[in-house]
Amino acid sequence: MNAGDVLNYLNEIAPWRYAEEWDSVGLMVGSRDSNITKILLCMDVTANVISEAESNGAQMIISHHPFIFSKMKAIDMETFKGAQIAKLIKNNITVVSAHTNLDTAPGGVNDTLAENLQLRNCKNLKTYIPKGLNFDLGMGKIGELPDYTSFDEFVRDIKKNLGIENLRIIGNKPEKVKNIAVFCGSFDDDLENLKSRKADVLVTGDIKYHTALDAAQMGLCIVDAGHFATERIILPKLRDTLSKRFKELEIICSIVEADPFNFA
């Protein structure tokens, strides 16, 4: 099995062309011809994750967030990023990243977040038609809970289902909720669209201060459950999907990475 086979399959389930124009996806480090027997899945390619891949004998890392995002003018091994790249090359570890293409693909991160919160009858929250395509992939989802529930109970369900202890709430808490919008990772600030969709609450992973301020003034309610928690839920699902396709490969999820934010 080589890295190119895995890249080709990722391009089937979450095509690279689905990514937003500003994004960086696909092969980051290594060669399509590299032989692989083990893959490590993660959110971010950190120093700890690279060491984890090395100690576990993984020849490929698939990350959600791009390992190389901005254009690099040089690979200076005395810099933090340069040293990481050198270690990956030295250990013959190929790195692939699937970001906004995986967010928007059917069965991807936003769909998984909606499923995780038990939403039904989901539709796209807002229009997203990548350049060169003629169909709407959508950004975010909006759907319904099985029945009306209290806001406090819904918050408890979010914490339980995402495995978190803390979250942030913006705006006035509605007494009851049923129509729920989700937007994994960083919300893109389109509050007018959100208001027009009449969601009782939006669950997202990141929201800027001034966006939060405007949302509260507009009468919206937003739950910021954390970037890490709203996106890491895709990893077990991606592991199962890849394992069904590549039965000869061992595919594991990182156990060393954690949300960089702590609460005192």
pLDDT in tens, 165-199: 999 999 999 999 999 999 999 998 899 999 999 99
Note the pLDDT of residue 166: 95
Geometric angle at alpha carbon 186, from 241 and 240, rounded to 5°: 10
- What span, in angstroms and rounded, lies between the C-alpha atoms of 151 and 42? 32
Note the pLDDT of residue 33: 97
Q: Which residues are annotated as a binding site for a divalent metal cation?
A: 64-65, 103, 227, 231
pLDDT in tens, 96-107: 999 999 999 999
Q: Residues 123, 90: contact at Cβ < 8 Å?
A: no
- What span, in angstroms and rounded, lies between the C-alpha atoms of 151 and 259? 25
- What span, in angstroms and rounded, lies between the C-alpha atoms of 115 and 105? 14
pLDDT in tens, 2-43: 999 999 999 999 999 999 999 999 999 999 999 999 999 999
pLDDT in tens, 191-240: 999 999 999 999 999 999 999 999 999 999 999 999 999 999 999 999 99
Note the pLDDT of residue 257: 96
Q: Residues 187, 210: contact at Cβ < 8 Å?
A: no
Hey, is 36 helix, strand or coil? coil
Q: Does pLDDT of 71 surpass 90?
A: no
Note the pLDDT of residue 98: 98
Question: 234-245 and 109-116 helices cross at what angle (nearest 10)?
Answer: 120
Q: Does pLDDT of 46 surpass 90?
A: yes
Residues paired with residue 3 on neighbouring β-strands, in sequence order:
none
Q: Per the confidence metrics, is the pTM higher than 0.85?
A: yes
The token pair at 16 is 């690279």
Alpha helices (H) along the chain: 3-13, 47-56, 80-90, 100-104, 109-116, 151-162, 191-196, 209-217, 227-232, 234-245
The token pair at 115 is 């499923």
pLDDT in tens, 87-136: 999 999 999 999 999 999 999 999 999 999 999 999 999 999 999 999 99
Q: What is the mean pLDDT of the chain?
A: 96
Residues paired with residue 170 on neighbouring β-strands, in sequence order:
222
Phi, psi of 42 (to 5 degrees): -155, 170
Closest CA to 67 of 53, 129, 55: 53
Note the pLDDT of residue 76: 92
Q: Which residues are annotated as a binding site?
A: 64-65, 103, 227, 231
Note the pLDDT of residue 239: 98
Bridge-based pairing of strands 38-42 and 60-63 is: parallel
Note the pLDDT of residue 72: 82
Q: Residue 263 — pLDDT band, cuts 50, 70, 90?
A: confident
Q: Which domains does the chain have, with CATH numbers?
A: 3-98 (3.40.1390.30), 106-230 (3.40.1390.30)
